[in-house]
Amino acid sequence: MHSITLVQGLLLAILAVIVGIDFWLEALFLFRPIIVGTLTGLILGDLQTGLIAGGLTELAFAGLTPAGGTQPPNPILAGIMTTVIAYTTGTDPKTAIGLALPFSFLMQYIILFYYSSFSFFMPKADKYAEEANTSGLIRLNILTTAIVAISYGVVVFLSVYVAQDLMKILVKSMPVWLGHGFEIAGGILPAVGFGMLLKVMMKGQYVPYFIIGFFIASFIPFSNLLPVAVIGAALAIYEYFNSKNKLVKNEMMAMNGDDYNEGI
């Protein structure tokens, strides 16, 4: 059992501001739980917990991406809170993922609110464009980014510093089956992420590759997924040249109009 000091709370808030801007812009990917968890661990002076919590959370969130303009449960709050809860309460990081989830949803909804409400800034932007007022448009963009950044700082400071006693009481009063349930949920949760990935990517023609990947990982015990990735890359390169050849053939057929009728 540890407590978060005021300095640690402020440092975590600053961390949240920085990685919050990074997530808003999708720039350096510092916002991923594996980085956020590690940095949180460093601030708390418990790198090991940060690494383990960050790694676990990263996997659970690997499929929850903002691709196509959708906003997933917030990876920053998940990374910070999983680490903080594991550190302050001594719970297993696997269990802590579940306890961190409400914070992650909270931030997700705040960002969704901004996505909608920032639409109201656009008429102003149009006016700046009409006047060719470049500094006005720059100011507007800085303002929106600053609103997001400050929100991250405030939410994280309140969550880690102000609400930490509440969290401890919650964890202490938790029955065994509930803790175990959280741990199990942590193990199954990646399925939702992978389901999301499949939803946007899966087509009938890709089923063989899915089966190959699943089989290799099920039957070759190895500490990471590199073998699967290498085989996947081989298949991708094969398909690339295959498709390219077909394209060249089609183009040749199109050029020689006479041959077209003889084909197939």
Partner 1 sequence: MKESKRVLTKKDITKLGLLSSFLQASFNYERMQAGGFTVAQLPFLKKIYKNDKKGLSEAMTDDLEFINTHPNFVGFLMGLLLFLEENHEDRAIIKGLKVALFGPLAGIGDAIFWFTILPIVAGICSSFAMQGNALGPILFFSVYLTIFLLRIVWTHLGYNLGTKAIDLIKTNSQIISKAASILGITVIGGLIASYVHINVVSKIAINAKHAVSLQTDFFDKIFPNILPLGYTLLIFYLLKKKNVSPVILILTTFILAILLSFIGVL
Which parts of 18-47 interact with partner 1 (CB under 8 A)? 24-30, 32, 34-35, 37-38, 47
Q: Measured from the CB of residue 193, what is the shortest distance to partner 1 in angstroms?
A: 9
Query: Distance (Å, rounded) from C-alpha 187 to C-alpha 229?
Result: 22
Cα-Cα-Cα-Cα torsion 205, 210, 216, 219, nearest 10 degrees, comes to -120
Smaller CB separation from partner 1, 138 or 162: 138
Q: Which stretch binds partner 1 (CB under 8 A): 10-18, 63-71, 159-167, 252-260?
A: 63-71
121 near partner 1, rule: CB under 8 A: yes
Pick one of 7, 169, 239, 254: the residue that binds partner 1 (CB under 8 A): 239
Pick one of 7, 158, 169, 198: the residue that binds partner 1 (CB under 8 A): 198
58 near partner 1, rule: CB under 8 A: yes
90 near partner 1, rule: CB under 8 A: no
Pick one of 3, 45, 138, 260: the residue that binds partner 1 (CB under 8 A): 138
145 near partner 1, rule: CB under 8 A: yes
Q: Which stretch binds partner 1 (CB under 8 A): 2-10, 80-88, 150-158, 242-250?
A: 242-250
214 near partner 1, rule: CB under 8 A: yes
User: Considering only CA atoms, which of 209, 211, 214 is closest in space to residue 232?
Assistant: 209
Smaller CB separation from partner 1, 68 or 257: 68
Smaller CB separation from partner 1, 168 or 213: 213
202 near partner 1, rule: CB under 8 A: yes
Distances (CA, A) of 6 to 9, 62, 65, 158, 190: 5, 32, 32, 11, 34
Pick one of 130, 172, 257, 261: the residue that binds partner 1 (CB under 8 A): 130
9 near partner 1, rule: CB under 8 A: no
228 near partner 1, rule: CB under 8 A: yes
129 near partner 1, rule: CB under 8 A: yes
171 near partner 1, rule: CB under 8 A: no
173 near partner 1, rule: CB under 8 A: no
What would you report as the CA-atom Rg of the chain, rounded to the nearest whole angstrom? 24
Q: Is 32 left (phi over 0), alpha (psi -120 to 50) or beta?
A: beta
Pick one of 150, 170, 211, 252: the residue that binds partner 1 (CB under 8 A): 211
Q: Which stretch binds partner 1 (CB under 8 A): 4-12, 82-90, 157-165, 207-215?
A: 207-215
